[in-house]
Amino acid sequence: MFPETIETERLRLDPRWPETVDLDDCYRICSSDPAIDEVTEHVTWDPHETKKETLEFLERGRKRWEDNEAAGYVIRPRQGEDGAGEIAGFGGFSVDWEKRTATLGTWLRKRFWGRGYSGERAAALAAVAFEDLDLGLVTVSHLPENEQSRRAIEKYVDRLGGRREGLLRNHITFADGSVHDEIRYSITQEEWREGTN
């Protein structure tokens, strides 16, 4: 149902599965990559403590894919980009079929920040959600204090025709049990069609 490979101008996205992601490389990145604490400050997971935890992360990606719950991808720069072929991060979307809604999510290694990859990935995934899956809504959110995500999300949501909806209080729970607010944005299929034409 979900496309196994998505290529944009500068990125290649492949499924977040044990078969498509090198476990040792993924563990090194998710546990001790430079600035991993900065990367995980605004996401629901903590740096991985064991390789088993990384394997479970990849296996969860495959299971949710097979159950048609989510399409998770490893993000790699394409040839010609600095770091071509390396794991830049992970991203994808979960699907609520009853509400016809895809919820985007991503994280990138710090060395890949500031290149516009988040927006490029979001545009490709929105196209999959609306064109391939005929969903009615794409949503994305960030923590109020995450300024870098705010800037990136506002830029691509505006470009794709969407808008900021507002603050969702006590909406997300982190691995440590703490509860956080989120700022949510959405794009309807109609807004996307108008915004991308």
Helices (H), 117-165: 117-127, 147-159
CA distances, 98 to each of 63, 69, 101, 122, 187 (Å): 20, 12, 8, 22, 17
Residue 135 and residue 95 in contact, taking contact as beta carbons nearer than 8 Å: yes
- For 175, residues 6+ apart whose C-beta sits below 8 A from its C-beta are 44, 45, 46
pLDDT digits (tens, 9 = 90+) for 130-158: 999 999 999 999 999 999 999 999 999 99
> Confidence band (pLDDT; 50, 70, 90) for 22?
very high
How much is the pTM?
0.95
Tokens of 81: 């980009």
Radius of gyration of the chain (CA): 16
* Amino acid (one-letter) located at 62: R
pLDDT digits (tens, 9 = 90+) for 49-67: 999 999 999 999 999 999 9
